[in-house]
């Protein structure tokens, strides 16, 4: 027993860093080398085909069959020249990863051989036999057809000799079965709503795009350790393990020099990413030992999200070469920081204005304030929905733990912007404003420093923070598809912008001047949304109390948080904006409940196995050894001496015995609880049972295992310990 652990330790101690295969060039020379981008399109496509694709990208127009054929020919030539033999439609089902099925370019040539071929039809649409993906009942299995359709707004690329075409994944009836479809729909909704609002300030604006810059946190664990711990292998987190005496207290990992093996790994990932056009900008050590982060330059949201998904995939693959495993789990180790994926989010007009960046004059600043205030209101109204969009079995373990945003939504604005909103609230009067009052207010609005980016106070404890030229949604989990959060955020903001515009228009129709109408509606929103504004420490206990006083919600349980999706007004909002219809929404929430149940179920099974088959036998063995020792002591010593020498040992034997009995008893109860939960028909009720009656066992059993870890001889303990997992590299 314990052999696996010691073999792993030996292996890890003998590891040599695997050097990076560096490109002998500047990044800019090979960036996007494997992407069928605009430049390559110009080279490989006819003029008409090129403009058909660029039109489709810019305006969402469809590409007809003839053009699609031409595009397919061009892509195929380029792909084959660059070593591709296969093609695939790449999509993002409602699982935790992307999906692909590769087909060779070959067709019969009519004389017994084959030729390479690729048609517009194959480029545009495919029907993978994808009946095993979760759909939440949208697709009945007897009609399990789903198809993938080309998303021209995200360019095709070559990955491991395969031409990879980003696609949406929908049911035969057109219902979305993936993350990308509704994300694209929300980008349209935001575009429409934000353009309408921008036109209040600048008629030249004709479209608005959403930008996303993600920061991806992760842990690196040596492959041998990863394989030696069934909990890591099967659930992505440690289900047991006593805290290491030293972990992150000294803050000496954060931003420290990157360990060589990790650095080589990260450089390898970057090389690959650059070729695929993923603009990774930053790499650094995070707070917890063996925790790291990549951040990319921001891009258009759909592209940025594809890039994040692709990067996660590349990281998993390249980690194996370096004898690492990447943990994207939000809370792989209890007691130390978990991993998030900050979503930096903003909007850009086609006139080049970031609406979240203070401008140069009162007018552009008023536009800036308009977007900030509407975002505040959207987050206030949508706090429950935003929480639901990021909560999962794994992220729930991170939220509310000491280092992560709690399950309370709030917005940090910083003092500059807060002051501005307070001023506006005070200066806008209910009667018609005098010209002087208006001028004074506009002057003040004009005073927001153009670049607050550098002088905004940062608040790293806020789940939703304004950071000078964007909002940063920090509660998103590291393993999540960003789209899950963005779909909700975009929908809420588009909905709020529409409402705002309608209110302003109504006042104007009634004869109020436009600027004054804007002032008035903003004032009312500033007042209404005030409870969501919080600049203090979001991790503190006081905030939990204060938030409750303000009437903000705080829901830590996954089924509890997910239940908001069934509120009629929320279904209506998704329908009105054309993002998800009732059955799509229902299907996706069903999938979330199922995922939660299955993940907890797997954890419970793994814990049961580890507890009964690994930990208990080890503890029993140790206990027998102690018993032997006691017996021998008794043989050798007098009763008096024996009492003195064996006293503490007898206590230890009893302690070990109690822990063993507890683990066995609770293990049995856990199985019974599962049996009971599993027969519950209704998925929501079943999820609730898993949350309330099964999850607590995991913690209870773990507590006793961790105690045993402290008692039992280190030499026979079967699982790599926290201090080893986190510090030996």
Binding positions for Mg ion, rule: CB under 5 A: 342
Letters for 174-203 (x = contact with ligand ADP by CB under 6 A, - = none) are ------------------------------
Cβ proximity to ligand ADP: between 268 and 472 the closer is 472
Task: Supply the DSSP symbol for 254.
Answer: T
Whose tokens are 């979305």? That residue is 176
Q: Is 455 in the site for ligand ADP (CB under 6 A)?
A: no
**Partner touching 295 among ligand ADP, Mg ion, none, CB below 5 to 8 Å by kind:** ligand ADP
User: How many C-beta atoms surround the C-beta of residue 397 within 10 A?
Assistant: 20
Q: Judge residue 354's burial from the number of C-beta atoms within 10 Å of its C-beta, 0-12 exposed, 13-18 middle, 19 or more buried.
A: middle
Q: How far is the CB of 343 from Mg ion (least distance, A)?
A: 9
Cβ proximity to ligand ADP: between 164 and 211 the closer is 211
User: How many C-beta atoms surround the C-beta of residue 598 within 10 A?
Assistant: 13
Cβ proximity to Mg ion: between 427 and 535 the closer is 535
Interface with ligand ADP in residues 656-715 (CB under 6 A): none
Q: Is 367 in the site for ligand ADP (CB under 6 A)?
A: no
Tokens of 290: 């063996």
Cβ proximity to Mg ion: between 86 and 342 the closer is 342
> Of 293-301, 360-368, 494-502, 642-650, which segment contacts ligand ADP by CB under 6 A?
293-301
Q: Is 344 in the site for ligand ADP (CB under 6 A)?
A: yes
**Partner touching 358 among ligand ADP, Mg ion, none, CB below 5 to 8 Å by kind:** none
> Of 339-347, 418-426, 504-512, 665-673, which segment contacts ligand ADP by CB under 6 A?
339-347
Q: Which residues contact 173 (CB under 8 A, 6 or more apart)?
A: none
Q: Can you tell me the distance from the alpha carbon of 307 to that of 322, in angstroms, rounded to the nearest whole number?
A: 22
Cβ proximity to Mg ion: between 342 and 588 the closer is 342
Cβ proximity to Mg ion: between 296 and 604 the closer is 296
Q: Are 718 and 609 in contact (CB under 8 A)?
A: no
Q: Is 73 helix (H, G, I), strand (E, B) or coil?
A: helix
Q: Can you tell me the distance from the alpha carbon of 467 to that of 331, in angstroms, rounded to the nearest whole number?
A: 26
Q: Is 297 in the site for ligand ADP (CB under 6 A)?
A: yes
User: How many C-beta atoms surround the C-beta of residue 628 within 10 A?
Assistant: 10
> Of 398-406, 435-443, 467-475, 542-550, which segment contacts ligand ADP by CB under 6 A?
467-475
Task: Supply the DSSP symbol for 361.
Answer: S
Q: Which of 122, 123, 232, 295 binds ligand ADP (CB under 6 A)?
A: 295
Tokens of 252: 């000496």
Cβ proximity to ligand ADP: between 376 and 465 the closer is 465
Q: Can you tell me the distance from the alpha carbon of 666 to that of 688, in angstroms, rounded to the nearest whole number?
A: 20
Q: Which of 211, 216, 302, 529 binds ligand ADP (CB under 6 A)?
A: 211
Q: Is 115 helix (H, G, I), strand (E, B) or coil?
A: strand
Q: How far is the CB of 649 from ligand ADP (least distance, A)?
A: 52
> Of 177-185, 291-299, 549-557, 583-591, which segment contacts ligand ADP by CB under 6 A?
291-299
Backbone angles phi, psi at 59, to 5 degrees: -120, 5
Cβ proximity to ligand ADP: between 282 and 678 the closer is 282
Name 342's bridge partners. 215
Q: Are 332 and 241 in contact (CB under 8 A)?
A: no
| Interface with ligand ADP: number of residues (CB under 6 A) | 15
Q: Is 307 in the site for ligand ADP (CB under 6 A)?
A: no
Task: Supply the DSSP symbol for 247.
Answer: S
Task: Supply the DSSP symbol for 354.
Answer: B
Q: Which residues contact 63 (CB under 8 A, 6 or more apart)?
A: 52, 53, 56, 71, 124, 152
Q: How far is the CB of 402 from ligand ADP (least distance, A)?
A: 19
Q: Is 285 in the site for ligand ADP (CB under 6 A)?
A: no
Q: Is 346 in the site for ligand ADP (CB under 6 A)?
A: yes
Give the CA radius of gyration of the chain.
29
102-104 and 106-108 beta bridge pairing: unpaired
Q: Which of 50, 298, 690, 697 binds ligand ADP (CB under 6 A)?
A: 298
Task: Note the residues at the interface with ligand ADP (CB under 6 A).
Answer: 211, 213, 215, 282, 295-298, 344-346, 354, 469-470, 472
């Amino acid at each position: 027993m314990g052999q696996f652990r010691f073999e792993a330790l030996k292996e890890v101690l003998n590891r040599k860093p695997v050097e990076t295969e560096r490109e002998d060039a500047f990044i800019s020379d090979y960036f996007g080398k494997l992407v069928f981008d605009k430049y390559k399109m110009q080279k490989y496509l006819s003029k008409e085909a090129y403009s058909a694709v660029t039109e489709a990208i810019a305006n969402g127009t469809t590409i007809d069959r003839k053009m699609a054929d031409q595009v397919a020919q061009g892509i195929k030539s380029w792909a084959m020249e660059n070593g591709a033999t296969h093609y695939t439609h790449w999509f993002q089902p409602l699982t935790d990863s992307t999906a692909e099925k590769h087909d060779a370019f070959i067709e019969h040539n009519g004389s017994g051989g084959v030729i390479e071929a690729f048609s517009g039809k194959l480029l545009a649409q495919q029907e993978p036999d994808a009946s095993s993906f979760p759909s939440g009942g949208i697709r009945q299995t007897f009609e399990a057809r789903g198809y993938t359709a080309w998303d021209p707004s995200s360019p095709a690329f070559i990955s491991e000799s395969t031409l990879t075409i980003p696609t949406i994944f929908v049911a035969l009836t057109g219902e979305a079965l993936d993350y990308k479809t509704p994300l694209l729909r929300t980008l349209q909704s935001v575009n429409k709503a934000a353009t309408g609002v921008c036109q209040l300030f600048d008629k030249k604006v004709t479209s608005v795009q959403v930008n996303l810059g993600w920061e991806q946190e992760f842990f690196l664990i040596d492959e041998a350790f990863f394989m030696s711990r069934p909990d890591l292998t099967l659930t992505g987190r440690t289900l047991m393990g006593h805290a290491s005496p030293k972990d992150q207290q000294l803050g000496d990992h954060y931003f420290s020099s990157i360990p060589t093996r990790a650095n080589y790994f990260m450089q390898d990932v970057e090389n690959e990413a650059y070729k695929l056009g993923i603009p990774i900008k930053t790499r650094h050590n995070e707070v917890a030992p063996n925790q790291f982060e990549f951040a990319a330059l921001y891009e258009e949201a759909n592209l940025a999200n594809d890039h994040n998904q692709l990067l996660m995939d590349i990281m998993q693959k390249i980690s194996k070469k370096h004898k690492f495993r990447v943990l994207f789990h939000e809370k792989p180790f209890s007691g130390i920081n978990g991993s998030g994926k900050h979503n930096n989010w903003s909007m850009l007009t086609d006139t080049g204005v970031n609406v979240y960046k203070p401008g140069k004059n009162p007018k552009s600043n008023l536009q800036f304030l308009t977007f900030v205030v509407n975002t505040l209101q959207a987050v206030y109204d949508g706090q429950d929905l935003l929480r639901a969009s990021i909560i999962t079995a794994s992220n729930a373990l991170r939220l509310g733990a000491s280092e992560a945003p709690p399950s309370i939504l709030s917005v940090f604005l910083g003092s500059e912007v807060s002051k501005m909103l307070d001023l506006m609230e005070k200066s806008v009067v209910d009667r018609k404003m005098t010209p002087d009052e208006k001028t004074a207010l506009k002057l003040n609005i004009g005073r927001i420093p153009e670049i607050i980016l550098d002088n905004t106070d940062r608040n790293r404890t806020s789940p939703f923070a304004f950071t000078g030229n964007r909002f940063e949604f920090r509660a998103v989990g590291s393993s999540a598809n960003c789209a899950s959060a963005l779909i909700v955020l975009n929908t809420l903001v588009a909905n709020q912008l529409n409402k705002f515009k309608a209110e302003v228009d109504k006042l104007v129709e009634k004869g109020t001047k436009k600027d004054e109408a804007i002032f008035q509606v903003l004032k009312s929103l500033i007042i209404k949304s005030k409870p969501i504004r919080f600049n203090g420490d979001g991790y503190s206990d006081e905030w939990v109390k204060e938030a409750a006083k303000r009437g903000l919600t705080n829901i830590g349980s996954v089924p509890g948080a997910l239940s908001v999706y069934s509120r009629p007004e929320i279904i209506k909002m998704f329908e009105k904006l054309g993002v998800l219809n009732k059955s799509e929404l229902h299907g996706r929430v069903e999938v979330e409940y199922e995922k939660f149940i299955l993940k907890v179920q797997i954890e419970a099974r793994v814990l049961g196995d580890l507890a009964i088959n690994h930990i208990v036998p080890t503890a029993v063995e140790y206990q027998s050894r102690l018993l032997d020792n006691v017996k021998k002591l008794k043989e050798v010593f007098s009763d008096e001496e024996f009492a003195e020498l064996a006293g503490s040992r007898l206590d230890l034997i009893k302690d070990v015995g109690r822990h063993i009995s507890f683990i066995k008893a609770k293990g049995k109860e856990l199985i019974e609880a599962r049996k009971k939960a599993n027969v519950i028909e209704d998925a929501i009720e079943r999820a609730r049972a898993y949350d309330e009656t099964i999850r607590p066992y995991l913690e209870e059993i773990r507590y006793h295992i961790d105690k045993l870890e402290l008692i039992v001889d280190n030499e026979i303990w079967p699982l790599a310990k926290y201090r080893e997992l986190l510090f030996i590299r």
